Amino acid sequence: MDTEVLFLVSNKAFSIVQKNASEFGNEVEFRMNHENNSINTDPLHDNLVASIANKVYFEPKESGPVLYNLFGGPELQSLHPSSPECLLVSMKRIDAIVTYNAFGSLRNEPFTTEEPSPFKFSGLWITPAFFNHSCVDYNASWGVYGDLMVIRALKPIMKGEEILIKYMEPGEEEARKNYMRNHHFICGCRLCAFESTEVRGRVRRAKLQSELLDSLAKLNQGLKSSKSGLKQARNVVKKLSNLRSNAPNFNFSLTTPPVINFGSELFKYGHFSECRELLTKIYSIQKDNGNIKQAIGIGVNILRTSLALNEQQKVKEWIATLKADLVVAFGSVLPMQIFGKETLDALKLQGIQFFE
Ligand SMILES: [Zn+2]
């Protein structure tokens, strides 16, 4: 066992800008800045560039050499820390470094609400910026607490083994591929290898996804069209479920927000068994690919659905599963208070204690 490293890094932000920062310092989920890299329309990006430029201006010796050593894209070579250029403010270089290295808020995809996450930030952490990406074969996860980034091993990591983190969710293939192209890297994970062997899955998936959006829109239009909307959505989700039947755990088309929204519609209309069946599939995909936080988000709702079905044994099992997942993801079961507030309330109503 002495060759294994239990890897844990905590790194203070080189610079961070926030919007509606959490008052409580709760952990939320994040991903690398995911926007178009040539035209940045995100004001957080611009604010971060400005904040870093200030830092270099006022503390050139302390900040320039570490900052300019970061990757700035194929056109700009990293600067050697002893280079005199390191002491100057270069907006072009800082802009590129932010594009390639900054981390930002993950677009939250909660199950029950459409509200965007109130936590939004963009930040640069020097050490984490050096970690490479893998879509499904990563071995460490990252989270941000205030301005501190914590990187945690998800499994024992051997000495000499590369630490890999995830920059983005594996769900949307097209978005992932664009991101990689724009950021000049390729990923050698099992999912990317699998996708490269697929001939025409992408077009069909996109078509089904758009059909699903149509039917969900119908569902939201009112009572009369709701029934046909539900029926149509059910058909599309069934077709989506059958995709990648030779590799069902790579069927990320089931993990996208529209499918998850469909799950919450099923719950709303009282189709609890069907809802749980779908959620269980999504949970497996997330869990088997190491997306433990996403799995927890789904698991919370499977628990809720089991409660609605009044299946005590399942409720017990899912409480145990969620507790184990929470410990792996956060080192504690307490974040359930953030992810599963409604479910905790529903449990309480039935006199069941989650934290016992
Ligand atoms: Zn990949």
d(CA 230, ligand 1 centre) in Å: 34
**Exposure pattern of 279-316 as b/e (b: 16+ CB <10 Å)?**
bebbbbbbbebbbbbbbbbbbbbbbbbbbeeebeebbe
What pLDDT score was predicted for residue 227?
A: 78
pLDDT for res 56: 96
Pairing between β-strand 8-12 and β-strand 148-153 as defined by DSSP bridges: antiparallel
Query: Residue 46 C-alpha to ligand 1 middle, in angstroms?
Result: 29
- Ligand 1 being an ion, which residues bring their Cβ within 5 A of it? 135, 187, 189, 192
| Of 155, 149, 127, 151, the residue nearest 141 (C-alpha) | 151
Residue 135 structure tokens: 């879509």
Question: What strands lie across the sheet with 15-19, from one edge to the other?
Answer: 15-19, 120-124, 103-105, 30-32
Q: What is the pTM of this model?
A: 0.75
Using the mean position of ligand 1's atoms as its centre, give its distance from the Cα of residue 130 in Å. 17
Residues belonging to the chain: 356
Q: Output the pLDDT for position 52.
A: 96
**320 CA → ligand 1 middle, Å:** 31
Residue 28 carries which DSSP code? B
pLDDT at 327: 86
* Calpha distance 134→265 (Å, rounded): 32
Ranges of the chain whose pLDDT falls below 70: 1-7, 20-42, 105-119, 222-225
Q: What is the pLDDT of residue 9?
A: 84
Domain boundaries, the chain: 4-195, 270-356
Residue 212, judged by CB atoms within 10 A of its CB (0-12, 13-18, 19+), counts as buried
Ligand 1 centre distance from Cα of residue 192 (Å): 4
Which pLDDT score, from 0 to 100, does residue 225 have?
Answer: 67
Distance 177 CA to ligand 1 centre (A): 9
Spacing, Cα 310 to ligand 1 middle (Å): 40
Distance CA 132, CA 138 (A): 9
* pLDDT reported for residue 189: 94
In the reported structure, the alpha carbon of residue 195 is separated from the centroid of ligand 1 by a whole-number distance in angstroms of: 9
